[in-house]
Structure 1
């Protein structure tokens, strides 16, 4: 039983990390200006095509200063 909020947060983070590793996807997170985020996502999808690697933008959000934080995911190898 967690004793403090920090204990609970640590336990939840460990559980998320175990789950993330268990699903088999490789994830990369970026924080870039909008124009550079588009170019980076396009290059990622060109390098790891969706058909072979199941690549996609997993999540994204807009930050102040016209920056985008986004996570790309893909399978480690194609079949």
Structure 2
């Protein structure tokens, strides 16, 4: 019986990265999103800046997604409403 070998995912990973870079900083739907790549400490500081500038109660601010990259870098997407109205 042949052993199953999963397909390579390099092409898919490049496509996802390209899509994230194209979407970074754009308004999509009713939310403003921005994606960052930085060290863990810088990422915490940047997220705190967003929550301080755009309070969660008024702007629905949140860390929409995050992942740890090689070398200890964190890639994360912040999301908020464009206004507090």
TM-score, normalised to structure 1, is 0.72
After the TM superposition, list the runs of 4 or more consecutive aligned residues in structure 1 that deviate by more than 4 angstroms: none
**Partner Cα distance (1:44, 1:32) in 2:** 15
What residue number does 2:77 align with? 71
Deviation at 1:47, TM superposition (A): 0.5
TM-score, normalised to structure 2, is 0.67
1:31 maps onto 2:37 in alignment: yes
Decide which structure has greater helix share.
1
Compute the RMSD of aligned alpha carbons. Answer: 1.8
Q: Which has the bigger relative contact order, CA under 8 A and spacing at least 6?
A: 1
Gaps of 5+ in 2: 1-14
Alignment of 1:1-79 (within 5 A): 21=28, 23-79=29-85
